[in-house]
């Protein structure tokens, strides 16, 4: 079982598993050409590919989009982010799925209006990934020179390979986690969803 391998064995297994998804590999290759600061491919396209491969489904089943995060605090204007988004839209236009690009230095400007909870400014892309509603989903990958995959997985890889969804109550409210869990379990009924921690 992959989750029982030492970490240095899990990383090649992670790459092998994700490489079943050709769209994911194309997004990684092309994203590297954008030279965005602190970028990662992250979120659902990664853990859902793993769930699909682990459960014998087509690798791209149920994946709605491919999230590209980057971190540029030098210009927090909507216009600067929009220019990057439009460049990415052209680069990925021929792919069979949407690629969503977002500057994580700007998240605090719109997060509360969307989710009802204030979000302190993120100091890095990694810090943004740390706030996903489930620890299982806290995973990011980027392609570096010499075809090296830089992997950010602050909670490890055991849960994602074991199909365990574990809440991460650091920012996203309970209802966001539970709504995501319900939607994902509808697509991957093998998921074991852990409950939101009760207050002492």
In this prediction, residue 3 carries a pLDDT of 58
Interatomic CA distance for residues 102 and 107, integer angstroms: 8
Interatomic CA distance for residues 8 and 69, integer angstroms: 25
In this prediction, residue 27 carries a pLDDT of 98
Interatomic CA distance for residues 69 and 122, integer angstroms: 12
Interatomic CA distance for residues 7 and 197, integer angstroms: 28
What is the residue extent of each domain of the chain? 2-190
Q: What does the block give as tokens for 196? A: 């939101």
In this prediction, residue 185 carries a pLDDT of 97
In this prediction, residue 4 carries a pLDDT of 64
Q: What's the pTM? A: 0.93
In this prediction, residue 115 carries a pLDDT of 83
Listed residue (134, 168, 139, 114) closest to 40, CA to CA = 139
Interatomic CA distance for residues 86 and 65, integer angstroms: 16
Beta bridge partners, 151, equal: 141
In this prediction, residue 114 carries a pLDDT of 86
Residues of the chain predicted below pLDDT 70: 1-7, 199-200
Per residue in 157-169, pLDDT (tens digit) is 999 999 999 999 9
């Amino acid at each position: 079982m992959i989750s029982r391998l030492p970490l240095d064995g899990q990383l090649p297994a992670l790459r092998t598993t994700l490489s079943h998804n050709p769209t994911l590999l194309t997004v990684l290759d092309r994203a590297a050409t954008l030279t965005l600061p602190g970028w990662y491919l992250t979120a659902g396209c990664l853990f859902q590919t793993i769930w699909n491969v682990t459960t014998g489904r087509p690798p791209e089943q149920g994946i709605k989009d491919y999230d590209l995060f980057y971190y540029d605090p030098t210009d927090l204007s909507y216009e600067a982010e929009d220019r990057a988004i439009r460049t990415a839209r052209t680069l990925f236009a021929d792919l069979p799925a949407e690629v969503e690009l977002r500057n994580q230095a700007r998240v605090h400007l719109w997060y509360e209006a969307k989710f009802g909870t204030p979000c302190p400014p993120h100091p890095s892309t990694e810090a943004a990934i740390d706030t996903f509603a489930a620890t299982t989903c806290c995973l990011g990958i980027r392609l570096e020179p010499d075809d090296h995959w830089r992997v950010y997985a602050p909670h490890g890889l055991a849960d994602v390979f074991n199909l365990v969804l574990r809440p991460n109550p650091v920012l996203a409210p309970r209802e966001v986690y539970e709504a995501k869990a319900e939607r994902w379990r509808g697509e991957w009924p093998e998921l074991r969803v852990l409950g939101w921690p009760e207050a002492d």
